[in-house]
Homo-oligomer: A and B are copies of this chain.
């Protein structure tokens, strides 16, 4: 583990019309990316359980960890990532993405 890592925080909210099985397919497809993109060094995800009501319509959180900006820059246009975005797109209502460097 390096001294610092790059966290890529991805939050999604889905359309009212999207079915649970559509959302499950998206989650499953995202979970497949670490096996397809070696630049992903860590991956975790979960659904919102905050009691604060500040999730702004976002219900699913994913945290992808990289060890360099270059690895993140390889990930974004990677064919496997683009395939995922194609699956996601029709169901996406809201999205928030922040990247930050931190000491793990």
Interface residues of A (CB under 8 A from B): 6-9, 11, 44-52, 54-56, 58, 61, 63, 69, 73, 76, 95-104
Which residues of B sit under 8 angstroms from A61, Cβ to Cβ? 7, 9, 98, 100
Which residues of B sit under 8 angstroms from A49, Cβ to Cβ? 6, 69, 99-101
Complex Cα spacing A50 to B8, Å: 8
Contact A76 B63 (CB under 8 A): no
A56-B102 CB under 8 A given contacts A8-B50, A46-B7, A50-B8:
no
Contact A96 B54 (CB under 8 A): yes
A12 to chain B, nearest CB (A): 10
A73 to chain B, nearest CB (A): 8
Complex Cα spacing A67 to B93, Å: 31
Complex Cα spacing A40 to B19, Å: 36
Which residues of B sit under 8 angstroms from A7, Cβ to Cβ? 44, 46, 61, 63
When the two chains form the complex, which single residue of B58, B95, B99 contacts A48, counting CB atoms closer than 8 Å?
A: B99
